[in-house]
Structures are given as C-alpha cells and as structure tokens.
Amino acid sequence: MTHYYLGIDLGGTNVKAGLVDGHGKLIDHVSLPTAKRESDLTQDKVVAQIVAAGKQAIAQAGVAESQVIAVGLLSPGQADLRRGIVLRAANFPKWRNVHLRDKVSAAFGLPAILENDANAAAYGEWWVGCGRSAKAGPLENFFMFTLGTGVGGGLVYQGEVVRGAFDFATEVGHMIIEPGGEKCGCGQHGCVERYCSAKYSALRTQRKLEESRKLRKKSTLGKVLKKAGTISSADVAAAAEAGDPFAVEAWEETCRYIALACINVCHFIDPQVIALGGGMSKAGRFLLDGVKKQLAQEWWAMTPVKVKLILAKLGNDAGIIGAAGVAKQAHDKGVLK
C-alpha cells in the first residue's frame, strides 16, 4: 500500500493543506480561510478548520484516508516544537500554551509533528527542491533564507533539521546587524529582518521618498507612491531593474544586508549552499546576482567565496512539502507521537 503524508500550514488568514507521497511529490492541495471572524479563532474552531482542509486535500487527491499515516503541522508564533505546543502567536491573540500537535493528532487520528515554517521550507527544498543534485543527491549541509514579510532561516545538516536546544536555532532574521539600529517587532534593535525583509526594505525606501520632494519627482517610484499611496519591494525591484538610479541604490542596499547575513551564516555554519526563498525570490536572477555581487565585495580576504548561492525552487509549496517531509522522517524513525 502506498503511504502519504499530510502537510499543513496554519496561517492567520488561511489554512493550507497538501497531500505528499513518500518521494516528496505534492499530489493535491487546498487553501481554506482560517476563520470567518475573530471570534472563530478559538483553539477548537481552528483545529476543526485544519481537519476540514486536510480531509479536503485527501479527497481531492483521490486517496483513501487509511493511506495517510502522519501529519506535519506548521504554525505561526513561538513554539515548543518538541512538545508540540504553540506558546504565543500574534495571529491568535488569545492562544497561550496551546497543545496544537496533540489536538490535531487526536482530530485526525494520526501521529503528528509540529515544525517551524522556515525549517520546513528548508527541509522541503533540501528533500526535493534546489537542495538536491541530480547526480549527487541531497546536500550534507544546506541553508535557506526565507525572504518575505519577515526573514527566516532553516538549516538541514546531514539530513536533519537543526532546531537548537530551545527551538530557536537559525533565527537569522533576528541577528543584530546594526547595533542600536531601528527597532524590530521582536523588541531588539538593528535586526536583519528590519533591514532586508520585503516589508521593511520597501518601508525604508518609501520613507526616503516621503522625506524628499526632489526624489519623488526624479524617481519613477514617486509616481508609484502617488498613485498607490505605498510601494512594495516588488516595485523597488522593478524600478531598479529598469535603471531608476534611486531604486538601484535602494535595491543594492537591501542586497548588501542580505549578503552580510549570508556571510555571517557562512562563518558560523559553513554551508555548501545557501538558497534564497520567500516572496522576494520572485525577483529571480536580479535578486541573486545583486546578493552575489555584494557578497563578493564584503567577503573576507582569507579565502575565496566557496558557498554557492542559488534560488529556491518550490515556491509557496515548500512549507507544505517540508512539513510532510519532516513527518515522514519522524515516522520512519519511529519517534512520532
């Protein structure tokens, strides 16, 4: 009998569920609203929606529920991954110490595992995405940045996700890169996330435009701001790629901060490959080449650059596939509860 694994990505807006086979192939997936109203963000109602999404994905795939043997679950917020507990989550303001893994496991009647979203995305890419070589198979030491609203990171070392002693390993978005710098949502000052995430790099660029009438007139981004009232990192990338001098400067600044974060990761972890994923990776080669250029300029003189920078391949499916993958691995090891 063929076995399948259910990957579930719980977000504040949507619950995404996908059915994945033992080779990492995504068979089918669905997305349902997490809740219709804030009063529906209770533990029981959210778990019910998770189950609804999972069962719908299984039904759409045409697979018998008896063939699904484990669930991998991603949840926002701070979590105790080993015990499967969501400690706090901004999207679920009333949640405190929620035993989400056990609740989902009981609801499905299947063993389950709780994982960090960036860890899962990294595992998915390592398993069946950009971290696997057609000739050599998966890499021994693979790191991935998730560049979106925030900045996350995941490390897969010798086939294992590295979580750390307290489940906070590879929180690269909160490495301090500018001591005494801008305040991050985490409470620290000068975090990587505050300087090169899609949200904050766009916000920094917008702030400069708002402060200078001259810039608003000279830059094409001024027209975007006037029309839309805001600008995005995609707007900055597009304007920079078109040659707008101000946008080029802003984009290069963001690429420099990403490159500095990559260098710090290299000095601590020494990975074979660093993958760039998340929403910002949609800029493709323009992002990759920009980061490579800055990395080469900032790299130390002791050795040449050996790490390989690449783009992630799985897009928005990386988390679901990775969640299913860590569930499969845990099941194969006999450690799922």
- What pLDDT is stored for residue 94 in this prediction? 87
Alpha-carbon span 211 to 214, nearest angstrom: 9
pTM exceeding 0.85: yes
- What pLDDT is stored for residue 134 in this prediction? 59
Question: What DSSP designation does 307 have?
Answer: P
Alpha-carbon span 153 to 170, nearest angstrom: 5
Calculate mean pLDDT across residues 218-228.
95
111 pLDDT band, cuts 50/70/90, is very high
Give the tokens for residue 272: 């074979």
The model's pLDDT over 3-15, given as tens digits with 9 standing for 90+, comes to 999 999 999 889 9
Domains of the chain: 4-123+317-333 (3.30.420.40), 134-312 (3.30.420.40)
Polymer length in residues for the chain: 337
Closest to 144 measured CA to CA, from 127, 132, 131: 131
The model's pLDDT over 168-191, given as tens digits with 9 standing for 90+, comes to 899 999 999 999 999 998 899 999
The vertex-331 CA angle with 28 and 147, nearest 5°, equals 55
Alpha-carbon span 239 to 38, nearest angstrom: 38
Mean pLDDT of the chain: 94
For 149-184, b/e burial (b = at least 16 CB within 10 A) is ebbbbbbbeeeebbbeeebebbbbbbbebeeeeeeb
Over 70: is that where the pLDDT of 20 sits? yes
Backbone angles phi, psi at 276, to 5 degrees: -105, 115
- What pLDDT is stored for residue 90 in this prediction? 77
Calculate mean pLDDT across residues 261-270.
96
Is residue 127 within 8 Å of 160, Cβ to Cβ? no
